[in-house]
């Protein structure tokens, strides 16, 4: 086990950090990537390529589409990712957190009284709680009465919002630093989609979804770590549909994948990047990796 190193890491942080300024200062920089991989078994070679090129310390995957006993653990272990939280099921959904920095407590959560595998939580060094979330896509019709998938999406966001609200109200947990990443399946800003007007009634950019995502963000006290670096006037996408002849030429993208951090971590943010190039890789996911780096 990596317990010894983990304890050392936490200890070395604790010396430098004051309780009111809990972040990664004093530790090595941490590079974190989130990627909706759309089948981790089919695309394990592309994950390997991403790792070799970008060297993330922590990798959060969504849509792994793999039961836990078939998850390619050996491949990740061989690449140095000794700590893994794998939470998958047959055929659909599935999230995983792979880490080169040892993590502490791990949890998985279920919402909307379903067995879906959409939420994994680990504690990173410095007491930072990392949430990896895969929000339901919501189907085609943006009406919760007519479309149960859309109702599920809204309920999922509402339940998460209520949970983060309760957590932050908790005296002992309220000030804890958090990172939330994942495929949130909502593009909140006008510049997070290729055409605000044309997508106003398209699931992922409807006002009701944008409002619910905003409520979730406020409930956790989260800052959008990507928009921290990129002004809202600038277009930014992390997903391009497979149903386009030429994704790059038409560039009809949406920013569905997000990295949020709580305010005490904002000062540690060193970089944010969306790896658009990977959308051009052979047989890749329709989502691209989104990365942040937190300073040591």
Partner DNA sequence: ATGGTGGTCCTACCA
In the bound state with DNA, the residue whose beta carbon lies nearer, of 11 and 90, is 90
CB closer to DNA, 137 vs 270: 137
- φ/ψ region of 127 (left if φ > 0, alpha if ψ in -120 to 50, else beta) reads left
Closest separation in Å from C-beta 91 to DNA: 4
The least CB distance from residue 242 to DNA, in Å, is 4
Q: With respect to DNA, which residue has the nearer C-beta, 37 or 101? A: 37
The minimum distance between CB 203 and DNA, in angstroms, equals 9
Question: Which residues are at the interface with DNA (CB under 7 A)?
Answer: 38-39, 41-42, 65, 90-92, 136-139, 149, 185, 242-243, 283
Contact residues for 218 (Cβ-Cβ < 8 A; gap 6+) = none
Cα distance between residue 296 and residue 288, in whole Å: 26
Find all residues with CB under 8 Å of 90, minimum gap 6, and list them: 66, 67
Asked if residue 165 lies in contact with residue 157, where contact means CB atoms within 8 angstroms, the answer is: no
**Residues 236, 276: contact at Cβ < 8 Å?**
no
Rounded least distance, CB 227 to DNA, Å: 22
Pick between residue 31 and residue 118 the one whose CB is nearest to DNA: 118
Residue 223 CB, shortest distance to DNA, in Å, is 25
- Which residue number, 172 or 283, has a Cβ lying nearer to DNA? 283
Yes or no: say if 181 and 132 are a contact pair by the CB < 8 Å rule.
Answer: yes
The tokens of 282 are what?
């052979």
């Amino acid at each position: 086990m990596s317990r010894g190193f983990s304890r050392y890491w936490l200890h070395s942080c604790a010396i430098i950090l004051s309780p009111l300024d809990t972040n990664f200062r004093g530790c090595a920089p941490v590079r974190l990537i989130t990627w909706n991989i759309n089948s981790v078994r089919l695309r394990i070679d592309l994950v390997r390529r991403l790792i070799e090129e970008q060297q993330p310390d922590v990798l959060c995957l969504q849509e792994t589409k793999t039961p836990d006993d078939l998850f390619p653990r050996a491949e990740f272990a061989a690449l140095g990712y000794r700590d893994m939280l794998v939470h998958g099921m047959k055929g659909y959904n599935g999230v995983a957190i792979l880490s080169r920095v040892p993590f502490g407590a791990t949890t998985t959560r279920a919402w909307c009284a379903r067995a879906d595998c959409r939420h994994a939580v680990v504690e990173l060094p410095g007491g930072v709680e990392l949430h990896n979330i895969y929000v339901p896509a919501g189907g085609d019709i943006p009406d919760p009465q007519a479309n149960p998938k859309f109702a599920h999406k809204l309920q999922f966001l509402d339940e998460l919002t209520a949970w983060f609200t309760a957590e932050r109200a908790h005296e002992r947990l309220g000030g804890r630093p958090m990172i939330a990443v994942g495929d949130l399946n909502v593009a909140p800003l006008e510049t997070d989609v290729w055409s605000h007007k044309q997508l106003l009634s398209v699931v992922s950019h409807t006002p009701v979804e944008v409002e619910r995502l905003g409520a979730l963000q406020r409930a956790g006290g989260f800052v959008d770590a990507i928009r921290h670096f990129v002004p809202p006037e600038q277009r930014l996408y992390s997903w391009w549909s497979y149903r386009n002849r030429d994704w790059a030429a038409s560039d009809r993208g949406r920013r569905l994948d997000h990295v949020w951090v709580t305010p005490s971590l904002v000062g540690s943010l060193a970089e944010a990047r969306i790896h658009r190039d990977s959308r051009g890789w052979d047989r890749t996911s329709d989502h691209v990796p989104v990365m942040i780096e937190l300073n040591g």
